[in-house]
Structure 1
């Protein structure tokens, strides 16, 4: 059976050890991310012992010309006349996360630019719409004013037509009156001529009668005188 003092000492030591381990664990528990920066070695052969002829950064696009499943290596084409071997497990069928992130960031930047341009266009369109609304309002007011003027012109035209008709009627009456006056003038002239002719005839008759009387009366007086002389 363990001595209580020894047991107590062991318990304290274990407790201190556990506390120290917890403190160490807490001190080391920091957030971290695995770096996507990776360079793979391109070798002259399909084993770690072969010479390194190039290095490729993560995300680099390569063309595979041969695969060796047993060795776990793939042959890639570096240039027109250069080829090398890399570990097949380091090659992915899709771009790396960093490449996709870079592409996404580029797309996001492009979207932001497009959004900015679209926002500017929207602002410009809004301003143009405001200007068009103002012009539309002005045109509506002008249209209303022109409609009123047209109504007034139509009313004036009706009056003008009526006035023209009345003027034509008056002109026709004037022509009729002038014709009547001309007719009356002709009749008056005819009457005047007829009266002058009557007076002429009357004057001629009186003159003729005077001549006759002047011719007859002396003879009658002579006959009476002769008869008176013969009676004495």
Structure 2
């Protein structure tokens, strides 16, 4: 049974080499020695811990594989090799990945909180800006209305000034006419007075003579 398992593992390793998969891992069972040659003597180069990643150079049918680890090249028993990292190593990688994801999630959560604060700040600024814009528009409309009222007032003042000038001209004309009328009236009264005086003098001369003639 062990021979069958040994042959199957050897075939798997050979297929691995054929498929150009150049790395294998020490299983998570035990640490194994790297030997100088394919024997169980005292020719141990170094000890390989569980989960070590090895570059596989070749695998033989007698259950040995030639591998390279760091700067050392030697032989190990093929049944202690695996195409996949040991469960312990995979678990550690998963734990590290989980921790990294948690750290990333925490950072992202902080970033989201900061972004939410920035969004809130921007919304407040936008509200204030909208209020300022509304206030500016109201002030603009008020100024425009004042300008329109000023134009109307200026137009009314111009009309009033024109009317005043017309009235002044009419007053001056009336004053001129009144002066002329007064002058004419004075002349007329002077003429009438002169005529009355003349006729009075004439009557004064004529009437006594007429009375005297009747006496005689």
TM-score class, shorter-chain normalisation, is 0.5 to 0.7
Bigger CA radius of gyration: 1
Unaligned residue ranges in structure 2 (runs of 5+): 1-26, 188-216
Contact 1:38 1:57 in 2 (8 A): yes
Q: What is the TM-score of this pair, normalised by structure 2?
A: 0.59
**Alignment counterpart, residue 33 of structure 2, candidates 17, 41, 49:** 41
Structure 1 residue 142, shift from structure 2 partner: 2.8
- 1:155 — aligned with what? 145
- 2:46 — aligned with what? 54
Larger strand percent: 2
The aligned runs of 1:89-104 (5 Å cut-off) are: 89-104=79-94
- 1:216 — aligned with what? none
Distance in 2 (CA, whole Å) between partners of 1:65 and 1:159 is 99
**Alignment counterpart, residue 72 of structure 1, candidates 29, 45, 63:** 63
Contact 1:46 1:71 in 2 (8 A): no
1:39-74 deviation per Cα after TM superposition (whole angstroms, max 9, x unaligned): 111112213346222111111111111211x21111
- 1:132 — aligned with what? 122
Structure 1 residues 107 and 88 mapped into 2: Cα distance closer, same or farther (>3 Å)?
same
Contact 1:37 1:57 in 2 (8 A): no
CA RMSD of aligned residues (A): 3.5
Structure 1 residue 182, shift from structure 2 partner: 7.9
Q: What is the TM-score of this pair, normalised by structure 1?
A: 0.56
Contact 1:44 1:50 in 2 (8 A): no
Q: Which has the higher contact order (CA 8 A, sep 6+)?
A: 2
3-state SS in 2 of match to 1:42: strand
Distance in 2 (CA, whole Å) between partners of 1:153 and 1:115 is 55
- 1:115 — aligned with what? 105
3-state SS in 2 of match to 1:59: coil
Distance in 1 (CA, whole Å) between partners of 2:152 and 2:28 is 98
3-state SS in 2 of match to 1:47: coil
